[in-house]
Amino acid sequence: MRLRHRRALVLIAVTTLASTAAAPVQASPRPPTPEKVPVATGYGGAVATVDLDATKVGLEVLRKGGNAVDAAVAAAATLGVTEPFSAGIGGGGFFVYYSAKDRRVYTIDGREAAPMTMGETAFVDPATGLPYAFPEARVSGIAAGVPGTLATWEKALRKWGTADLGDALRPAAKVADRGFTVDSTFRTQISDNAAAFGQFSSTSELYLPGGLPPEAGTVFRNPDLADTYRLIAKQGTGVFYRGAVARDIVDTVQHPPVADVPIGTWAYPIRPGTMALSDLARYQVRTPSPTRVSYRGYDVYGMPTPSSGGQAVGEALNILEQTDLSALTRTGALHQYLEASALAFADRNRFVGDNTPRPLLEQLLSDGFAKERACLINPAQALVKPVAPGEPDGAYGGCAAGAPSPAVTEGQSTTNLTVADRWGNVVEYTLTIEQTGGNGMVVPGRGFLLNNEMTDFNFTPTQGSAADPNLPGPGKRPRSSMAPTIVLADGRPFLAVGTPGGSTIITTVLQILVNRLDLGMTLPEAVAAARATQRNTAAVLGEAEFAPEIPGLTALGHTFAASPEIGAATGIEFLSHGRFLAAAEPVRRGGGSAGVVWPVAGS
């Protein structure tokens, strides 16, 4: 803690006494060591992540008097160690924050930025005029954008935290030094990436020791990352954006550390990128105001562009609000959910990118536009997909559909965390390096992977004769689907939720909200429920557990294809009398970790 926060500490002490006094008798006298459980109820603050180590670190920060932002950054830094294939300082993300003091929601856009040299055809092979195959584009220097994660942490702590960055990085550095136990998810993520990782000396040294992924149950250490965190703790983010680490990042992008003797074969050339020191030096996070829609009396806040999360979740909710889902059969409600999602995706694909003007975004989130879109839904018959985008022009009343536009979807990795403190502050934070394993390149000597976020741009125009809002451009940020979401009731936090999963992020957040707000599920039930995703494609993708819903929906004209598990959500619900209900996945990604500072006995 910095000295200038002594006043905050005194306040913390006073509030702690007050909240302890108010806590019911069944709260345990000392916080027990958290175990890995997907649901926790209690007092004093809550953390939900995909990983026990990260949740423990976040809870410890809260227990010692830190606030939700301090705990979120410390937990995120720990995820950079234990979930390095999903997120880390080589990537970016979106941070949504409810400030209890201001009773307002704020955001930080820490999305990766394209180098200033990146043009519209960056992913088109000059030799053939054709776009690169996805794996070729992904495992390249071209794919890496200027990372925004560290700048996000710094901004969040400066604006709202009580810890400094060094404090927040220390527990994670400890985990990186001391090591953590490899689980089957960690091992599988390496074996799934072995061909890409094996091409680079730095990555194979770290993640393929002796040529193989580490065994589940063994202890994994990352001393280089511990050193990098300590270096940043000591010297500040300047060392990353303008100093020695910046030089190493640029070197990795421009001269990928290809192994003399690669492990396994890779079918594509490894192309360097053009990111320069000046690109890192000019990187800034942005702090746009959140998107907001009202839904059944709640206020739902999300992330604006360059994420499409706030637009697509918000537009779909606006469409759904035209119908009372609780009065429908389960099949009828799911039909509405799938149709609203397809319509919102059509508009996302046509209109949403980094340069979308804010007034256009507001039109996409307007009730007038939603009514026009909702009237296309036939309760008895599924629309033919892909559906056409609408006309968010401010003049509403019709029910016309234009020409269909092709669907656009993306891959999956990423991680999400939710933190709340005893003062009522809330963080919902989704962070990523894009694909599981990013671009496959560990920055030599630094212990972290670079992202491949630039492949979230469309490689070639996707919107026929209309302009594509998501083509690459200098300094541009690729469109995201990340949808960290905070729901308020009467201006106070009611629920916070988010998930990874590429463009399925949008449908997963939407489905959890519908499950919770319309279909009578508790938050843990809403998170655990079987998922299906309709992103304006011919077939709905459904998890195996969604099978019982399929006959009814097929009768309405939906078609289905099987999907492996979708997403890995975390969330917190704010119960009465200051109680928190933290929820993570019971099964997906090996199960997540929910915790509260003071558990209520029996929860």
Q: How far is the CB of 138 from ligand GLU (least distance, A)?
A: 11
Q: Which candidate, 372, 412, 415, places its Cα nearest to that of 149?
A: 415
DSSP annotation of 388 reads: P
Q: 456 among the known binding-site residues?
A: yes
CB of 516 to ligand GLU, least distance (A): 21
* Strand partners of residue 56: none
Q: Any contact of residue 480 with ligand GLU (CB under 6 A)?
A: yes
Q: Specify the residue, 413 or 463, whose C-beta has the smaller distance to ligand GLU.
A: 413
305 lies in the site for ligand GLU, by CB under 6 A: no
Q: Which residues pair with 471 in a beta bridge?
A: none
Task: Choose one: 195-203, 272-280, 468-476, 496-504; the region binding ligand GLU (CB under 6 A).
Answer: 496-504
Q: Cα–Cα distances in Å, from 232 out to 198, 229, 240, 388, 444?
A: 28, 5, 7, 48, 16
Nearer to ligand GLU, 447 or 500 (CB): 500
**Does the annotation mark 499 as catalytic?**
no
Query: Between 56 and 348, whose beta carbon lies closer to ligand GLU?
Result: 348
Among 356, 412, 439, 536, binds ligand GLU (CB under 6 A): 412
* Under rule CB under 6 A, residue 410 binds ligand GLU: yes
DSSP state of 148: -
Q: Which is nearer to ligand GLU, 190 or 600 (CB)?
A: 190
Number of Cβ within 10 Å of residue 191's Cβ equals 13
Q: Closer to ligand GLU at the Cβ: 422 or 535?
A: 535
Q: Per-residue x/- mask for ligand GLU, residues 257 to 276, rule CB under 6 A?
A: --------------------
**Nearest distance from C-beta of residue 321 to ligand GLU, angstroms:** 25
Interface region with ligand GLU, contact rule CB under 6 A, candidates 150-158, 370-378, 501-509, 575-583: 501-509
Beta bridge partners of 449: 442
H/E/C letters for each residue in 584-600?
A: ECCCHHHCCEEEEEEEE
Considering only the stretches 6-14, 40-48, 276-284, 478-486, report the one whose residues sit in contact with ligand GLU under the rule CB under 6 A: 478-486
Query: Is residue 481 within the footprint of ligand GLU (CB under 6 A)?
Result: yes
Q: Least distance to ligand GLU from the beta carbon of 481, Å?
A: 4
Q: Is 349 in the site for ligand GLU (CB under 6 A)?
A: no
Q: Does 482 bind ligand GLU (CB under 6 A)?
A: yes
Structure tokens at 568: 């890995």
Categorise residue 267: left if φ over 0, alpha if ψ from -120 to 50, beta otherwise.
Answer: alpha
Which one among 456, 468, 549, 573 touches ligand GLU, defined by CB under 6 A?
A: 456
Q: Which of 280, 346, 360, 505 is the binder for ligand GLU (CB under 6 A)?
A: 505
CB 296 within 8 Å of CB 288? no
Nearer to ligand GLU, 105 or 568 (CB): 568
Number of residues counted as binding ligand GLU (CB under 6 A): 16
Q: Please report how close the Cβ of residue 297 comes to ligand GLU at its closest, in angstroms.
A: 29
By CB under 6 A, is residue 432 in contact with ligand GLU?
yes
Interaction of residue 112 with ligand GLU, rule CB under 6 A? no
Shortest separation between residue 445's beta carbon and ligand GLU, angstroms: 26
Query: Rounded to whole angstroms, how far apart are CA atoms 412 and 502?
Result: 4
414 binds ligand GLU (CB under 6 A): yes
Measured over all CA atoms, what is the biggest interatomic distance in the chain, rounded to whole angstroms?
Answer: 72
Looking at 51-59, 145-153, 386-394, 408-416, which segment touches ligand GLU (CB under 6 A)?
408-416
Query: 481 among the known binding-site residues?
Result: yes
Does residue 500 interact with ligand GLU by CB under 6 A? Answer: yes
Catalytic residue among 49, 414, 504, 570: 414
Please report how close the Cβ of residue 221 comes to ligand GLU at its closest, in angstroms: 26
CA–CA distance from 72 to each of 101, 151, 431, 480, 555 (Å)? 18, 14, 11, 21, 45
Q: How far apart are CA 391 and CA 323, in angstroms?
A: 21
Task: By CB under 6 A, name the one of 136, 434, 543, 573 that touches ligand GLU.
Answer: 434
Q: Which two tokens stand for residue 296?
A: 């059944």
- Which window, 147-155, 179-187, 407-415, 535-543, contacts ligand GLU (CB under 6 A)? 407-415
In whole angstroms, the minimum distance from the beta carbon of 65 to ligand GLU comes to: 33
Q: Are 580 and 48 in contact (CB under 8 A)?
A: no
Other Cβ atoms closer than 10 A to 567? 26
Q: What is the number of residues in the chain? A: 603
Task: Choose, by CB under 6 A, the member of 501, 524, 542, 599 that binds ligand GLU.
Answer: 501
Smaller CB separation from ligand GLU, 66 or 498: 498
Q: CA neighbours within 13 Å on the CB side: how many for 593?
A: 19
Verify binding: residue 502, ligand GLU, rule CB under 6 A.
Answer: yes
**Full DSSP string of 398-458:** -----------------EEEEEEETTS-EEEEEEE-SSTTTTS-BPTTT--BPP-GGGGS-
Selected range binding ligand GLU among 232-240, 420-428, 477-485, 553-561, rule: CB under 6 A: 477-485
In whole angstroms, the minimum distance from the beta carbon of 508 to ligand GLU comes to 10
Q: Which residues contact 499 (CB under 8 A, 6 or more apart)?
A: 416, 430, 483, 505, 508, 509, 512, 567, 568, 569, 570
End-to-end CA distance of the chain: 32
What is the C-alpha to C-alpha distance for residues 255 and 274, in angstroms, rounded to an integer? Answer: 10
Q: Among 219-227, 272-280, 381-389, 498-506, which window interacts with ligand GLU (CB under 6 A)?
A: 498-506
Query: Least distance to ligand GLU from the beta carbon of 505, Å?
Result: 6
Coil, strand, or helix at residue 544?
A: helix
Residue 17: partners with Cβ closer than 8 Å, 6 or more residues away: none
Residue 378 DSSP code: B
If one counts every other C-beta atom within 10 angstroms of the C-beta of residue 308, the result is: 33
Bind-site residues: 111, 456, 480-481, 502
Contacts with ligand GLU by CB under 6 A lie at 410-414, 432, 434, 453, 456, 480-482, 500-502, 505
The residues carrying an active-site annotation are 414
Bind-site residues for L-glutamate: 111, 456, 480-481, 502
